[in-house]
């Protein structure tokens, strides 16, 4: 882990726009009747009609085909777990936000329930604790309430990174009602999973006109609390596959949104 101060990382902002003719390319997301391993693979592009397009297939598309892809693409699969039978996809649009503002209760509180301790060297990390970020905003609220502190997690302006993810439908305007909800700010463990397959995730996102994690010295906020400083949270450095920390109110680090696809 390295301390990461005053390095601005910005996300490439791109409108995701993807054709109905892709609907027949694969099984609908969430549909039954086939083995999980056959349903999703890393690099699959999820469309807003519930279908998917494999990255290798998408690479062969003509320019007009890609225009149709961009009109419907919403996420790229970065984890396809045959054990839990849950796939995770990352949204195609990133932004820059603070983890929380200085007047948020969580700014000066160590939220012990959302710590995600890492061990190992850059690029070869293992994680314990809270590795699933899908309920971390709710966990912050519960923790504050149980400690007798002001639970201000309903105030979106105080938790910008979390609400970017929670309200991702406001950013990715091509989401259909099926996929408007369920987005969240990932833990550092989940960001590490993205980093491990960054090349294909970026390549697939690029085909869809989406943002890139890239190879720059970029710090991406996670939803994980740093264990040893109340006003610090954890993020991930996509340059070298390491985790780091910084002040929760630093607003120039980028954020992404992830979602489960079952």
pLDDT at 9: 36
Q: Into how many domains does the chain fold?
A: 1
Shortest CA distance to 189 belongs to which of 247, 140, 129? Answer: 129
Higher pLDDT, 262 or 239: 239
**Over 60: is that where the pLDDT of 33 sits?**
no
The pLDDT confidence band at residue 75, using thresholds 50, 70 and 90, is very high
Mean pLDDT calculated for residue range 108-132: 97
The pLDDT confidence band at residue 82, using thresholds 50, 70 and 90, is confident
pLDDT at 253: 96
Shortest CA distance to 5 belongs to which of 255, 239, 232, 240? Answer: 232
**Are the beta carbons of 237 and 255 closer than 8 angstroms?**
no
In 3-state terms, the chain is what percent helix, strand and coil (to 5)?
30, 25, 50
User: In the structure encoding, which two tokens stand for residue 35, read together?
Assistant: 């083995």
**Over 60: is that where the pLDDT of 201 sits?**
yes
**Over 50: is that where the pLDDT of 25 sits?**
no
pLDDT at 30: 33
Q: Which residues contact 106 (CB under 8 A, 6 or more apart)?
A: 100, 140, 144, 153, 159, 248
Query: Which range (3-7, 88-92, 114-118, 258-262) has the least confidence?
Result: 3-7
The pLDDT confidence band at residue 236, using thresholds 50, 70 and 90, is very high
Query: Average pLDDT over the chain, rounded to whole?
Result: 87
- Please give the model's pTM, rounded to 2 decimal places: 0.86
Percent of the chain with pLDDT over 70: 84
Mean pLDDT calculated for residue range 41-67: 95
Which residue segment(s) compose the domain that 90 sits in? 2-261
The per-residue b/e assignment along 169-182, b for 16 or more CB within 10 angstroms, e otherwise, is: bebbebbeeebeee
Mean pLDDT calculated for residue range 40-69: 95
pLDDT at 2: 54
């Amino acid at each position: 882990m390295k301390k990461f101060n005053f390095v601005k990382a910005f996300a490439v902002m791109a409108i995701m726009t993807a054709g109905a003719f892709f609907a027949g390319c694969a099984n609908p997301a969430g549909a039954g009747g086939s083995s999980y391993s056959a349903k999703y693979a890393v690099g699959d592009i999820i469309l807003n009609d519930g279908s998917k397009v494999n990255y290798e297939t998408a690479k062969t598309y003509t320019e007009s085909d890609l225009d149709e892809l961009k009109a419907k693409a919403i996420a790229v699969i970065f984890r396809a777990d045959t054990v839990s039978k849950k796939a995770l996809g990352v949204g195609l649009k990133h932004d820059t936000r603070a983890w929380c503002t200085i007047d948020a209760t969580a700014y000066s509180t160590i939220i012990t329930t959302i710590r995600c301790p890492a061990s190992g060297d850059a690029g070869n990390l293992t994680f314990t604790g809270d590795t699933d970020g899908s309920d971390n905003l709710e966990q912050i609220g519960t923790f504050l309430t149980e400690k007798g502190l002001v639970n201000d997690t309903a105030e979106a302006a105080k938790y910008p990174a979390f609400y970017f993810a929670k309200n991702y439908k406001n950013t990715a305007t091509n989401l259909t009602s099926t996929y408007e909800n369920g987005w969240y700010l990932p833990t550092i463990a989940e960001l590490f999973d993205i980093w491990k397959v960054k090349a294909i995730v970026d390549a697939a996102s690029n085909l869809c006109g989406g943002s890139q994690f890239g190879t720059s010295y970029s710090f991406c906020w996670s939803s994980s609390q740093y264990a040893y400083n109340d006003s610090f949270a954890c993020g991930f450095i996509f340059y070298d596959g390491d985790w780091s920390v910084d002040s929760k109110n630093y607003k120039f680090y980028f954020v992404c949104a992830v979602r489960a696809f079952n």
